[in-house]
Amino acid sequence: MKLKTITGFFLAIFLVTLVLIVNAIVIDGDLTDWQSVSPIVTDNIGDSIPAYWPDIVSAYVTHDSENLFLRVDNAEPCWIPAYIWSNVTIRTNDGSLYLIQAFVEEERTVVRLTGATSLTDDCKDLSPPLYIYYDRCAMSLDQESIEFSVPLADLKNPTSIDLVFWTGMRIWEHYDRAPDTGFVSYAIIHKVQSTVDIDPDTLNLKSNGKWITGYITLPEGRNVEDVVLETVRLDGIAAEWSDIQDGVYMAKFDRAAVQGLTNEPDYEEETKFYELTLTIRGELIDGTPFEGTDTIRVIMK
Ligand SMILES: [Ca+2]
Ligand SMILES: [Ca+2]
Ligand SMILES: [Ca+2]
Ligand SMILES: [Ca+2]
């Protein structure tokens, strides 16, 4: 393989990875995938008892179609090196109570899902776990944060949850919780998976043109008339205008802006192709999000 080809190959990998990072949380200890998620709760520093106990600063929740993702940031690393844990008690919309306990130690990462007896009065349920997962939590490089996940199916696919984050183990005097009283709520809205066809199939960076078109088809039971133009984005680029033809929603995006997503290299090259996966997201008039992806081919020259 020639060096130039190898460079092009890695560039393509980088671009595809970039798209994936924007779309999904990966449990790997790298928190850059949480950039677009705001904390669901923030907590005072210095309110953990005793003072050396993990001191929650903020906590985050997000989800995809299969997983609930959680992240807790502490004020400082745990006093035990390379060790972090966090607990979350959850009440799902059917009234079920669950406790999620995530531990990262030097040799082991474990997430336990058990039942719980109370949402806000600490969790005192010591019953055997319903599920134990070994690949669903990770500690950040600064050892202050932990990210973890559980399958939504194991919570019986709730549509909303109430949460309390806390750091007690089985000694109830040792504690920090967030929020300090009550709980926070999170809606688990499932995105409508739409079919997206982006035109052109091949984007030549040297050719001109005004628009990139996304053809969006919604699944049965959803009407493209309900798509709100102002919410439609192609990897962050706003749709400028739209039309509906034969049940297909046609959104137009500025071609130059889309080409800006491709990071055209500045070296002189023979013709190069790579695949670029693009995601169109938007909302229906009732607030339901939809998204779909298509892969196009990019010609560098
Ligand atoms: Ca991550
Ligand atoms: Ca705190
Ligand atoms: Ca607190
Ligand atoms: Ca296409």
Read off the pLDDT band of 126 (50, 70, 90): low
- Counting ligands in written order, which one lies closest to the CA of residue 140? 1
- Counting ligands in written order, which one lies closest to the CA of residue 33? 1
Residue 263 Cα to ligand 4 middle (Å): 20
Could you tell me whether strands 233-234 and 248-254 are parallel, antiparallel, or unpaired per DSSP bridges? unpaired
- Give the three-class secondary structure for 207: coil
Residue 1 Cα to ligand 1 middle (Å): 33
Residue 171 Cα to ligand 4 middle (Å): 58
Question: Which tokens is 62 given?
Answer: 């997000």
Q: Where are the beta strands (DSSP E) in 46-136?
A: 56-63, 67-74, 84-92, 97-105, 108-115, 131-133
- Counting ligands in written order, which one lies closest to the CA of residue 141? 1
DSSP state of 172: T
User: What's at 287, amino acid-wise?
Assistant: G
DSSP state of 230: G
Q: Please check whether the two domains, 3-21+191-299 and 37-187, share a CATH topology.
A: yes
The mean pLDDT value for 65-72 works out to 94
Read off the pLDDT band of 15 (50, 70, 90): very low
User: What's at 37, amino acid-wise?
Assistant: V
pTM higher than 0.95, yes or no? no
- Counting ligands in written order, which one lies closest to the CA of residue 73? 2
Residue 189 Cα to ligand 4 middle (Å): 28
CATH 3.20.20.105 given to domain 3-21+191-299: no
State the CATH class of domain 37-187: mainly beta
Which of 157, 166, 163, 159 has the alpha carbon at shortest distance from 67? 157
Q: Say what the pLDDT of residue 22 is.
A: 39
Distance CA 189, CA 166 (A): 25
Asked if omega into 200 is within 30° of 0 (cis), the reply is: yes
The per-residue pLDDT for range 238-296, each reduced to its tens digit, is: 999 999 999 999 999 999 999 888 765 555 555 677 888 999 999 999 888 999 999 99
Residue 91 Cα to ligand 3 middle (Å): 19
Domain ranges in the chain?
Answer: 3-21+191-299, 37-187
Residue pair 200/212 in contact (Cβ under 8 Å)? The answer is: yes
Residue 256 Cα to ligand 3 middle (Å): 48
Distance CA 19, CA 63 (A): 17
